[in-house]
Amino acid sequence: MKEEKASSRTEIGTLGEFGLIERITSQHQTIHHSTIAGVGDDAAVLDNGDRYQLISTDLLLEGIHFDLMYHPLKHLGYKAVVVNLSDICAMNGKPTHITVSIGLSNRFSIEAVEEIYEGIYAACRQYDVDLIGGDTTSSRQGLVISVTAIGEVEKEEVVYRSGAKDGDLVCITGDLGAAYLGLQLLEREKQLYLDNPEIQPDLEEQSYVVGRQLKPEARTDIIDLFRKSNFRPTAMIDISDGLASEIFHICQASNCGVLLEEAMVPLRDESQLLALKFQLDPITTALSGGEDYELLFTAPITDLELLKRMPGIYIIGEIKNAAFGKKLLTTGGNHHDLKAQGWAHFEK
Ligand code: ADP
Ligand code: MG
């Protein structure tokens, strides 16, 4: 049996990240009544009493998710927490606890680890969450940080990726593309520095995009706003991989199509200008960039007036039936098929 397995080898790249997750999880049957939702959304949903408990985990690897040449350790600790809290928000919940596990090579000093934890504790204070445990191990190479976030939500308030309906509005909570552009800028400065260490990077003017990359925030404020406004989205996801990839997840889970309008997708002026400098189409940085950690959600058309009154909510399109497909109406008036080109960890 062993030999048989060894003789058939399939490259991970043939499935891609999401195909691989589907492959390794689709056969698993959950057995506990408390498991309301397992794999397939931003967080798992457990029924442990009055409220649902939400659990989400992410793994950050040096050289894949961050580069310590430009990622300050304190910011890295903060970001590692935030990206997980964002997944709790995506279920319409509020984070309460985290665990943090780290793998350290001997390149790291105690002071360096303390700096990472300064950032982790800053995030704990900012978002009112308790650090309740974790694991510490050595690593042959590079830094590994894994955070698990736990949160809660009233049972009737939980929002999945799967609730979008034909005719729903597609909304977003802030501007896109900046985090990706910040990364491009930091990569360029790194190259310039490596070519000539005398050159000091000048990122002052681009502090917005750099900040979006190095110090993202989780939109717990939006979850509070929804509660206060008596509003519940029909479907929701956070934008970690880019708008196109995330709307694909909603469409797949909800069995629907979508029409997004390029002109409605919010991009800051500085992002547009910087995109053009990098010879990128600005809309591409929003569709395929990622790491903006805004929330993408859908809402019934009957909530239009309510949504218009909510500060910082942008309506960017409409849910269609599955047969319509997934399309972008460009500023030039053409319909383009959307491509779910998110962050490709495993290149096809
Ligand atoms: P997100 O981008 O919101 O963090 P992911 O795309 O990482 O979500 O994961 C999608 C879903 O697949 C989640 O429900 C996650 O828990 C699950 N998942 C990812 N990797 C694995 C794995 N190796 N084993 C089991 N479940 C996984
Ligand atoms: Mg997510």
Domain co-membership, 262 together with 287? yes
Nearest residue CA, atom 5 of ligand 1? 42
pLDDT confidence band for 7 (50 / 70 / 90): low
Strand 51-61: give its sheet, edge to edge. Answer: 35-37, 44-47, 51-61, 144-154, 94-104, 130-138
- Please state, in angstroms and rounded to a whole number, the distance separating the CA atoms of residues 164 and 34: 25
Q: How far apart are the first and last CA of the chain?
A: 29
| Nearest-ligand number for the alpha carbon of 43 | 1
pTM beyond 0.85: the answer is yes
Domain co-membership, 174 together with 317? yes
Nearest residue CA, atom 15 of ligand 1? 39
Domain co-membership, 236 together with 120? no
Domain co-membership, 18 together with 167? no
User: Which amino acid type is present at position 236?
Assistant: M
Ligand 1 centre distance from Cα of residue 193 (Å): 36
Domain co-membership, 177 together with 310? yes
C-alpha dihedral (221, 224, 228, 230), degrees to nearest 10? 120
Nearest residue CA, atom 19 of ligand 1? 21
- Please state, in angstroms and rounded to a whole number, the distance separating the CA atoms of residues 104 and 113: 9
> How far is residue 213 from each of residues 78, 224, 289, 302, measured CA to CA in Å?
12, 24, 11, 35
Q: Is 345 part of a structural domain of the chain? A: no
Query: 224-246 pLDDT, tens per residue?
Result: 999 999 999 999 999 999 999 99
Question: In terms of C-beta density within 10 A (0-12 exposed, 13-18 middle, 19 or more buried), how is residue 197 classed?
Answer: exposed
Q: Write out the H or E segment, with its range, that includes residue 228.
A: helix 220-228
Mean predicted lDDT score pLDDT of the chain: 93
Domain co-membership, 253 together with 168? yes
CATH number at residue 236: 3.90.650.10
Query: 78-107 pLDDT, tens per residue?
Result: 999 999 999 999 999 999 999 999 999 999
Which residue did the predictor score with more confidence, 180 or 5? 180
Ligand 1 centre distance from Cα of residue 2 (Å): 28
CATH number at residue 61: 3.30.1330.10
In the numeric block, which tokens belong to residue 300?
Answer: 């019934």
Q: Give pLDDT, residue 340.
A: 72
Residue 220 pLDDT > 50: yes
Q: Is 135 part of a structural domain of the chain? A: yes
Residue 3 pLDDT > 70: no
Q: Is 290 left (phi over 0), alpha (psi -120 to 50) or beta?
A: left
Domain co-membership, 147 together with 165? no
**φ, ψ at 172 (rounded to 5°):** -140, 155
Which of ligand 1's atoms lies nearest the C-alpha of 241? 2
Ligand 2 centre distance from Cα of residue 87 (Å): 5
Q: Is 346 part of a structural domain of the chain? A: no
Domain co-membership, 191 together with 240? yes
Domain co-membership, 126 together with 199? no
The 3-class SS string of 303-348 reads HHHHHHHCCCCEEEEEEECHHHCEEEECCCCCEEECCCCCCCCCCC
Nearest residue CA, atom 8 of ligand 1? 42
For range 314-332, the mean pLDDT: 97
Nearest residue CA, atom 23 of ligand 1? 21
Last-in-domain residue among 142, 157, 172: 157
Query: 36-67 pLDDT, tens per residue?
Result: 999 999 999 999 899 999 999 999 999 999 99
Query: 241-288 pLDDT, tens per residue?
Result: 999 999 999 999 999 999 999 999 999 999 999 999 999 999 999 999
| pLDDT more than 90, % of the chain | 86
**φ, ψ at 291 (rounded to 5°):** 65, 15
Q: Give pLDDT, residue 46.
A: 98
Domain co-membership, 167 together with 311? yes
Domain co-membership, 75 together with 222? no
Lowest mean pLDDT among 6-10, 42-46, 69-73, 205-209: 6-10
- Please state, in angstroms and rounded to a whole number, the distance separating the CA atoms of residues 320 and 169: 10
Last-in-domain residue among 128, 157, 186: 157
Q: Give pLDDT, residue 345.
A: 42
Residue 218 pLDDT > 90: yes
Domain co-membership, 207 together with 123? no
Asked if 89 contacts 157 with a C-beta cutoff of 8 angstroms, the reply is no
| pLDDT more than 70, % of the chain | 96
Strand partners, 61: 144
| Nearest-ligand number for the alpha carbon of 18 | 1
Beta-carbon contacts of residue 208 (< 8 Å; ≥ 6 apart) = 178, 268, 270, 271
Q: Is 343 part of a structural domain of the chain? A: no
Q: Is 344 part of a structural domain of the chain? A: no
| Residue numbers of the domain that contains 79 | 13-157
Number of domains in the chain: 2
Q: Is 3 part of a structural domain of the chain? A: no
Q: Is 274 part of a structural domain of the chain? A: yes
Concatenated DSSP letters for 183-221? HHHHHHHHHHHHH-TTPPP--GGGHHHHHHHHS----HH
- Which residues have any ligand 1 atom within 6 Å of their CB? 21, 24-25, 39-42, 58, 87, 240
Q: Is 178 part of a structural domain of the chain? A: yes
Last-in-domain residue among 157, 186, 207: 157
Which of ligand 1's atoms lies nearest the C-alpha of 240? 2
